[in-house]
């Protein structure tokens, strides 16, 4: 038996109390008082060497009670063997995290990094379990703890060295925050089946450039027992400049090609040149260290490739920019109304104006009579405004083929006629009372129509004022269970007085949208708002059933096919930058094998489409990352504990185990019970041995 707090055993010294009490004085057995002694002064008996213990059993019981009480407070327990099935107390779990992003392609960076990692790996003892992970945009286990657990220590180290030799830098970005979070989580998970936790450590091998993304660390609580050690790669030269694409807004007629040249803050050069691949003519560009310049490159010769090259820096990994040629697509809009295209007070004037400015599509706006012959093979968006009654056959046929109709209620009576042409009877349209103006509220940003506006910087529609609008009644919403005979309409937006602003109806396979206020100046400021062009183009895309995507993407991005209802389930061909071809690629699933920069050619039915995959812009920001940024996010940097700290940690761990063992056994309760039993026996025995006093009085 072992006490947990042995200092309480000193309380057993109080056992001397009963012994001294027994030896200190002997009182007479009886007491008799005589009248002649009243004139004498009483004196206590003196302690003499002839004092002796008369009641040995009482003395033993009292001493045993005190000893048991001291032993109970010392919290005794029976020692048992402590099992440590997976490790010794000195075992260490080390995760080596290798950066394989594109910035490690700088001259000398990767060899220097591998040299430092191999040196550190050699110094680690065989008792340390070493796992290997690597990351760029994605975190990937190369040899994780689950796989290593099934191997012997020597085999584990050989496996890690083999997997390490197979790594090389790719073309992805640097998502350092996610890599650290997932590596820390993997280390913590490896502790779950261990009786005694091992020491944890991460060896981060990276160039630590400022382009690293650290956002995932913001909401992560870094473990207190986990340390991060840095192995920083040193390239041959710090000078680096990068070339990036500047996105164009083709919907707003922005067809000018622009590129951005960034120069690292620690660069030693500031004069560069740019030219097209295959063209020897160059254009000089001056970019000071730590700054960037947006320029218009020289016009590309016909015989030159669609690739821009940057010259003048010491690292060429980010000096190539692939430009995808723009492929113009055709769209159709059928306008059913009485206003002319040059009438600035009407709807068609603004509709044609916004579509004519598009560089993404070739949009043809025609009347229903002109589109009647070709509407069978096309899916235009039909806009109804004071429609000719003769257009009813065309409108119903368009809806029967799964088409889309947009009704703009510029007047109450004409809007009701337009609804009837679409087969929506029973709806009532009246003029709504607007005191001053009305705003759009309760917008359904989950609907595909408004989904592009869901971000906070685009979701503010309060600047669009409506001077007048119509009130639509006689339908039930999707959430209501009203009259089944009423048309079912989904309200996508409302005015601030509660009236529906945009309502969606399903008519067979087709779809009808009704806007209860016009975009002409008499009704609202919608046509003059920045929301009007993207909203019209979104309606056009949803009506045609075709999805579009950007022509220039970053490495690792998914390429979504330009699909329509007719091509659903079809298979196409993808030609990769190395000229290899992947056949029978399903169009309904985005193409994800984009790990290399270059032009990817998508082909379906003889129609080709090029998509440019370029390096992420942040990879060109190769200046050193301040270590303080990691510390500010809670990351604990530095070596693992010193030998003295390790010894104290082992002592604390042993004490915790003993406390847990004592708490399980709780022998102190039996000690207190024994004290009570002994004291009861001592009380009973003392009562039996106490003599009855006899007093003699006169």
pLDDT score for 25: 52
Q: Please determine, for residue 557, whether its predicted confidence score (pLDDT) is greater than 80.
A: yes
Over range 566-580, report the average pLDDT.
80
pLDDT score for 88: 44
Q: Please determine, for residue 235, whether its predicted confidence score (pLDDT) is greater than 90.
A: yes
Q: In whole angstroms, give the CA distance from residue 126 to residue 158.
A: 11
**Which one has a higher pLDDT value, 147 or 13?**
147
DSSP structural state of residue 9: G
**pLDDT band for position 8 (50/70/90)?**
low
Least confident of 30-34, 70-74, 431-435: 30-34
* Residue 151 · residue 188 · CB < 8 Å: no
**pLDDT band for position 18 (50/70/90)?**
low
pLDDT score for 299: 85
Over range 301-323, report the average pLDDT.
87
Same fold, 92-237+623-653 and 329-541: yes
* Residue 501 · residue 515 · CB < 8 Å: yes
pLDDT score for 30: 57
Q: Please determine, for residue 510, whether its predicted confidence score (pLDDT) is greater than 80.
A: yes
Instruction: Return the CATH class of domain 329-541.
Output: alpha beta
Per domain, the residue ranges of the chain are 2-78+667-689, 92-237+623-653, 241-314, 329-541, 556-614
pLDDT score for 233: 94
Least confident of 175-179, 277-281, 494-498, 667-671: 667-671
**Which one has a higher pLDDT value, 546 or 421?**
421
Total residue length of the chain: 698
Q: Which CATH architecture has domain 92-237+623-653?
A: 3-Layer(aba) Sandwich (3.40)
Q: Please determine, for residue 47, whether its predicted confidence score (pLDDT) is greater than 90.
A: no
Q: Is 4 helix (H, G, I), strand (E, B) or coil?
A: coil
Q: In whole angstroms, give the CA distance from residue 636 to residue 458.
A: 39
pLDDT score for 89: 47
pLDDT score for 377: 46
Mean pLDDT for all residues in the chain: 81
The model's pLDDT over 608-650, given as tens digits with 9 standing for 90+, comes to: 788 899 999 999 999 999 999 999 999 998 754 455 656 666 6
And the tokens for 204?
């981060």
C-beta atoms surrounding 670 within 10 Å? 13
C-beta atoms surrounding 599 within 10 Å? 18
Over range 117-144, report the average pLDDT.
92
Q: Please determine, for residue 605, whether its predicted confidence score (pLDDT) is greater than 80.
A: no
And the tokens for 48?
């003499």
pLDDT score for 421: 87
Q: Please determine, for residue 404, whether its predicted confidence score (pLDDT) is greater than 70.
A: yes
And the tokens for 643?
């030998």
Q: Give the angle 196-197-201 at the CA atoms, nearest 5°.
A: 150
């Amino acid at each position: 038996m072992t006490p947990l707090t042995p200092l309480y055993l000193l309380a057993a010294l109080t056992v001397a109390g009963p012994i001294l009490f027994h030896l200190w004085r002997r009182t007479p057995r009886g007491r008799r008082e005589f009248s002649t002694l009243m004139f004498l002064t009483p004196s206590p008996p003196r302690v003499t060497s002839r004092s002796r213990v008369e009641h040995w059993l009482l003395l033993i019981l009292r001493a045993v009670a005190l000893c048991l009480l001291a032993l109970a407070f010392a919290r005794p327990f029976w020692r048992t063997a402590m099992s440590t099935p997976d490790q010794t107390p000195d075992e260490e779990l080390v995760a080596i995290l290798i950066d394989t992003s594109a910035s490690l392609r700088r001259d000398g960076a990767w060899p220097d990094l591998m040299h430092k990692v191999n040196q550190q790996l050699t110094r680690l003892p065989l008792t340390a379990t070493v796992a290997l992970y690597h990351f760029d945009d994605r975190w990937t286990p190369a040899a994780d703890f689950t796989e290593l657990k099934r191997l012997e220590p020597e085999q584990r180290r050989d496996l890690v060295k083999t997997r390490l030799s197979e790594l090389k830098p790719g073309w992805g970005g640097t998502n350092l925050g996610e890599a650290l979070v997932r590596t820390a989580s993997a280390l913590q998970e490896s502790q779950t089946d261990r009786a005694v936790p091992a020491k944890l450590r991460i060896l981060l091998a990276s160039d630590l450039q400022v382009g690293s993304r650290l956002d995932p660390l913001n909401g992560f609580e870094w473990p207190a027992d986990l340390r991060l050690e840095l192995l920083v790669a040193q390239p041959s030269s710090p000078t680096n400049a990068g070339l990036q694409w500047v996105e164009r807004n083709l919907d707003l007629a922005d067809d000018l090609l622009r590129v951005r040249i960034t120069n690292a803050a620690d660069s030693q050069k500031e004069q560069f040149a740019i030219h097209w691949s295959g063209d020897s003519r160059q254009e000089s560009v001056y970019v000071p260290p730590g700054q960037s310049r947006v320029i218009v490159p020289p016009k590309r010769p016909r015989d030159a490739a669609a690739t821009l090259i940057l010259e003048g820096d010491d690292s060429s990994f980010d000096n190539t920019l692939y430009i995808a040629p723009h492929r113009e697509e055709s769209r159709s809009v059928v306008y059913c109304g009485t206003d002319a295209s040059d009438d600035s007070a009407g709807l068609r004037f603004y509709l044609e104006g916004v579509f004519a400015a598009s560089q993404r599509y070739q949009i043809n706006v025609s009347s229903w009579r002109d589109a009647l012959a070709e509407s069978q093979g096309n899916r235009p968006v039909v806009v109804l405004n004071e429609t000719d009654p003769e257009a009813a056959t065309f409108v119903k046929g368009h809806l029967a083929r799964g088409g889309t109709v947009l009704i703009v209620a510029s007047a109450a009576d004409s809007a009701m006629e337009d609804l009837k042409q679409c087969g929506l009877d029973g709806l009532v349209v009246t003029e709504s009372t607007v005191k001053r103006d009305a705003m759009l509220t309760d917008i359904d940003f989950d609907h595909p129509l408004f989904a592009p506006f869901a971000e906070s910087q685009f979701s503010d529609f309060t600047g669009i004022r409506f001077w007048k609008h119509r009130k639509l009644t006689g339908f039930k919403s999707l959430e209501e269970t009203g009259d089944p005979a009423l048309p079912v309409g989904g309200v996508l937006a409302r005015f601030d007085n509660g009236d529906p602003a945009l309502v969606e109806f399903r008519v067979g396979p087709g779809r009808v949208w009704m806007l209860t206020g016009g975009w002409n100046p008499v009704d609202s400021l919608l046509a003059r708002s920045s929301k009007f062009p993207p909203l019209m183009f979104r309606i056009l895309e949803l009506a045609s059933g075709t999805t579009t995507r950007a022509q220039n993407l970053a490495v690792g991005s998914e390429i979504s096919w330009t699909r329509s209802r007719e091509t659903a389930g079809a298979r196409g061909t993808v030609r990769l930058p190395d000229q290899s071809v992947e056949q029978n690629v399903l169009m309904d699933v985005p193409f994800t094998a984009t790990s290399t920069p270059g032009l990817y050619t998508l082909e379906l039915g003889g129609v080709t489409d090029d998509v440019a995959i370029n390096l992420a812009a942040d990879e060109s920001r190769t200046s050193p990352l301040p270590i303080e940024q990691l510390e500010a996010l809670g990351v604990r940097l530095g070596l693992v504990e010193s030998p003295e700290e390790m010894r104290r940690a082992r002592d604390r761990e042993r004490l915790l185990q003993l406390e847990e063992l004592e708490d399980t056994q709780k022998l102190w309760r039996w000690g207190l019970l024994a004290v009570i039993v002994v004291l009861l026996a001592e009380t009973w025995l003392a009562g039996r041995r106490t003599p009855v006093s006899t007093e003699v009085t006169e």
